[in-house]
């Protein structure tokens, strides 16, 4: 018969013999005497109380530093090796980092290009040319271009000359410029076409929408 089982050990680590229940005493006496129980109980209790459950000792701080050096020496290989300069990264982690970065870049690119471009609502009042003719003009966006200010000034100068020369023409162009920064301007060229006599402008769309290039953001001009 096994004389030292876990149940006996549990009792020995617990209460003194005198404090045990009747059934526990009966169980113990099947294996050992009361005197033996008391001696063994005291040794175990003293051992457990003395040594406790946590260690009172502390490792030296230098051990952790030495272990870190040894760990780096074993697991981290140099990314490239020059005499004066040496970067070390863990090989597997480097590969994972590069892969993760590449995936993130691709994701960012696809998200960026699939984002809807900001739009500008251009409210253009119906243009009336030659009021005596009661013509109403419906504006249409001809083009949207990014232009440098120098270019715009040139074009305006040319158009001004042209306009003076061709002022009899019904079809005219107007421009709305939306400025995003000092270096580049967004030019909206709108063509106004006559849509008929005595036509109610409200029967047409109140404004125009146009896709603005992504480089121009936060446009809030109507």
Partner 1 sequence: MFSINGKKYNKSSDEELMLLIIQGNHRAFEELYKRYSKNMLYFFYQRLQQNNEKSQDFLQDLFLKVIEKANRFDSSKKFKIWLYTMAANMCKNEYRRVEVRGVQVGDFDFNELFQESSTAHLADKFDKNLFTRLLTNELSKLDENHSLTFELRYINHLSINEISTVMECSEGTVKSRLFYTIRKLSHKLEMFNPYNEAN
Using CB under 8 A, list all residues that contact partner 1.
2-6, 9, 12, 35-36, 38-40, 42-51, 53-60, 63-64, 66-68, 70-72, 74-76, 90-93, 96
CB of 107 to partner 1, least distance (A): 18
With beta carbons less than 8 A apart as the criterion, state whether 222 and 123 touch. Answer: yes
Give the residue with the Cβ less far from partner 1, 89 or 144. Answer: 89
Residue 67 C-alpha from the chain's centroid: 36
Residues with Cβ within 8 Å of 189's Cβ and at least 6 positions away in sequence, in order, are 141, 142, 143, 144, 145, 173, 175
Rounded Cα distance, 220 and 120, in Å: 7
Tokens of 114: 């699939």
Give the residue with the Cβ less far from partner 1, 55 or 198. Answer: 55
Residues with Cβ within 8 Å of 11's Cβ and at least 6 positions away in sequence, in order, are 20, 24, 27, 28, 37
CB of 76 to partner 1, least distance (A): 6
CB of 78 to partner 1, least distance (A): 13
Give the residue with the Cβ less far from partner 1, 5 or 143. Answer: 5
Give the residue with the Cβ less far from partner 1, 56 or 116. Answer: 56
Q: CA of 159: how far to CAs of 17, 126, 174, in Å? A: 113, 21, 10
CB of 111 to partner 1, least distance (A): 22
Give the residue with the Cβ less far from partner 1, 54 or 167. Answer: 54
Rounded Cα distance, 119 and 105, in Å: 26
Give the residue with the Cβ less far from partner 1, 100 or 161. Answer: 100
CB of 32 to partner 1, least distance (A): 9
CB of 35 to partner 1, least distance (A): 5
Residues with Cβ within 8 Å of 94's Cβ and at least 6 positions away in sequence, in order, are 79
Is the Cα dihedral 47, 50, 54, 56 positive or negative?
negative
CB of 202 to partner 1, least distance (A): 58
Give the residue with the Cβ less far from partner 1, 72 or 215. Answer: 72
Per DSSP bridges, beta strands 86-89 and 119-122 are: unpaired
């Amino acid at each position: 018969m096994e004389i030292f089982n876990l149940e006996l050990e549990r009792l020995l680590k617990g209460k003194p013999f005198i404090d045990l229940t009747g059934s526990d005493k009966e169980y113990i006496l099947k294996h050992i005497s009361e005197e033996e129980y008391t001696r063994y109980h005291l040794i175990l209790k003293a051992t457990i109380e003395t040594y406790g459950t946590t260690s009172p000792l502390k490792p030296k701080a230098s051990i952790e530093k030495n272990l870190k050096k040894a760990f780096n020496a074993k697991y981290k290989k140099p990314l490239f090796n020059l005499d004066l300069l040496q970067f070390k990264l863990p090989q597997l982690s480097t590969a994972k980092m590069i892969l993760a970065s590449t995936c993130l870049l691709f994701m960012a690119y696809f998200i960026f290009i699939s984002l809807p471009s900001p739009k500008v609502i251009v409210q253009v009042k119906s243009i009336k040319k030659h009021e005596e003719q009661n013509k109403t003009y419906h504006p249409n966006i001809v083009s949207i271009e990014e232009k440098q200010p120098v270019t715009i000034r040139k074009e305006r100068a040319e158009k001004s000359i042209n306009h003076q020369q061709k002022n009899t023409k019904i079809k005219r162009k107007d421009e709305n410029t939306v400025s995003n920064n000092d270096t580049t301007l967004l030019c909206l060229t709108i063509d106004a076409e006559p849509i008929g006599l005595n036509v109610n402008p409200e029967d047409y769309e109140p404004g125009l929408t146009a896709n603005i290039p992504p480089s121009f953001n936060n446009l809030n001009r109507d």
